[in-house]
Chains A and B, each alone.
Chain A
Amino acid sequence: MKARANAMEIIGATMVASLVFVAVLAPILAPHDPTRAVANSFGDPAGPSWAFPLGTDALGRDVLSRIIYGAQISLEVGIAAMAVTMTIGVTIGLGAGFFGGRVDFILMRFTDVMLTLPALLLAMALVSVLGPSIRSILIVIGIVSWTSIARVVRAEALSMSQRDFVVAARTLGAPPYRLIVRHVLPNVAPTIIVMAALGTSGTLLLDAALSFLGLGVPPPTPSWGRMIEEATIYFRVAPWLATFPGLAIFYAVLGFNLLGYGVLRRRAR
């Protein structure tokens, strides 16, 4: 039984690792410059060929190179946004769960309000207000997706702070900061790691959706979501244009999901 969970983890970890590999080695792996016209196909996308395995887009740019470079920005944004999300979620969750009482009440009512706001709509509105840049996208994704993490971390921290070893440390006079960092946080860490893997698949999807809606990382940076958006008008004549970047998003999100669920399953047994 354990073997199956491990298989999921291993496949997920391999997928994520391969993605990191492609992103880091993009300048070596990509056959062409992703932002320059390299094919004489102005105005018309060209299908896959020996020179351009995944075809070229309407501006004559190599799709394969754009997808390879797209891994860089997707991973950067996905992981950084996850870090922002986790920072907000873990801080609020730990605070609410550890201190309890009034602090817990106020923080959790705030979480309830944020949960009620539709995430994508809120993200769209915020990006349009802040202007599309990597920084604002990270902040916006963090703002709209920390709630579920805060809830899970709060529940864990709440049960941790009742445990004998925490109570004992408190009785001995340890200050709250030390209690949280030395006793509660390490015990909540495994949950946080799983949430981080699953959270990254969420931030990747949200980032791709924003890009698709034209509210993502601004051009000329190649981004998978925007490649699909640019390809939609050619869906009849050049279906491969939308297909490949979508497969890339799918691969990345599935990798993080397999990794997260794999770890979750093994821990549940």
Chain B
Amino acid sequence: MLTYLIRRIFFGAFVLLGTSLITFAIAFMVPADPAVAMAGAKADPHTLATIRHQLHLDEPLYIQYGDYLGRALHGDLGRSYIRRESVTRLIVSRFPATALLAVCAMALSLILGIAMGLVAAAYRDRAVDNGLLVASLAMVSMPVFWLGTMLLIAASAWTKSIPLGGLAGWKSLILPTFTLALGSAGYYSRILHTNLGDAMEQEYVRTALGKGLSRAQVMILHAMPNALLPLVTLAGLDLAGLLSGVVLTETVFNWPGLGRLAYEAVLSLDIPLIMGTVLFSAFLIVIANLLVDLMYAYLDPRIRLEEIG
């Protein structure tokens, strides 16, 4: 197990190194001059040179990259060119709003997706199953930002008690949570449906049916735990993705989270902030990956034994 753990951590570190290289390469491609962005278009050459020197932009690239990496390891992602604040602090201040939204949306999409998948599998190959299949495809086909806008329209027409934007009280969570959850709920229901179908054809299910349990009992008690595990691990990875990438929903609902921070950074070509948010997202995903791998290895000895052998 320890060998496996060390290998996974090493792999995570490697992936993060790769992502940092790619983000750095993108930042290098930006056509705008950061010094001009900070000092304004009318700054004199001397000021520009001073700023470039302060930012180490006059040094060779590999030294700049090494510096960036070294500071990132200490949690320092540089300073935003536009906001003149520490990128780390900006990310930390915006993270809770996004985390709250992501966790709520994930919970809702799991509940909805599991319910839909279970019902569809129970009525396999019948009208209900077909209807739920089409419904789930419709859910994944809906553009998130459009769904959000439609909910805004509906809420503003029919009720005054639901806030239409911003983060203020639990009611303000309703619309963005639903917007974010619908698509992944459709996706999860498809996956659970497939997994349950596969599980119901296994030997242990035939045994359980043979000893006299009803189909519903077998499905929930025997097939469900096996069908659910891949879904939950998938949800773990998605949660990490949600924590970073709820750009569209946050834009529609004016949500003060990371997604909007990243969007504003892109619009203003605020390079350190773009790099910081991308790198932070990658970090979350790597951590989630690591946790999922470890959970799998813990639950399924075949994985850790295979790695050693």
Are B245 and A118 in contact, CB atoms less than 8 angstroms apart?
A: yes
Are B137 and A235 in contact, CB atoms less than 8 angstroms apart?
A: no
Are B137 and A258 in contact, CB atoms less than 8 angstroms apart?
A: yes
Closest to B156 in A: A236
Tally the A-B contacts, defined by beta carbons under 8 Å: 136
Interface residue? A117 (CB, 8 A): yes
Q: A interface, how many residues as a size bin?
A: 35 or more
Interface residue? A120 (CB, 8 A): yes
Interface 0/1 of B214-255, CB less than 8 Å to A: 000000000000000000000000000100110110011000
Interface 0/1 of A141-172, CB less than 8 Å to B: 00000000000000000000000000000000
Those of B1-47 within 8 Å (CB) of chain A: 11, 14-16, 18-19, 22-23, 26, 29-31
Interface centre among A109, A117, A121 (most CB of B within 10 A): A121
Those of A232-269 within 8 Å (CB) of chain B: 232, 235-236, 239, 242-243, 245-246, 249-250, 253-254, 257-258, 261
Interface residue? A208 (CB, 8 A): yes
Interface residue? B263 (CB, 8 A): yes
Interface 0/1 of A1-34, CB less than 8 Å to B: 1001000100000000000000000000000000
- Chain A interface residues (CB < 8 Å from chain B): 1, 4, 8, 109-110, 112-114, 116-122, 124-126, 128-131, 201, 205, 208-209, 212-215, 225, 228-229, 231-232, 235-236, 239, 242-243, 245-246, 249-250, 253-254, 257-258, 261
What 8 A-B pairs come out closest when comparing CB atoms? Answer: A246-B146, A113-B18, A254-B141, A253-B141, A239-B153, A118-B281, A118-B245, A124-B266
Q: A109-B18, A205-B143, A231-B149 are in contact. List 12 more A-B contacts (CB 8 A).
A: A113-B15, A116-B16, A116-B289, A120-B247, A121-B247, A121-B266, A125-B274, A212-B248, A213-B247, A242-B146, A250-B146, A261-B137
Give 8 CB contacts A-B under 8 Å. Answer: A117-B23, A118-B282, A129-B30, A209-B144, A212-B248, A212-B251, A214-B267, A249-B146
- Chain B interface residues (CB < 8 Å from chain A): 11, 14-16, 18-19, 22-23, 26, 29-31, 125, 130, 133, 137-138, 140-146, 149-150, 152-153, 156-157, 241, 244-245, 247-248, 251-252, 262-263, 266-267, 269, 274, 277-278, 281-282, 285-286, 289
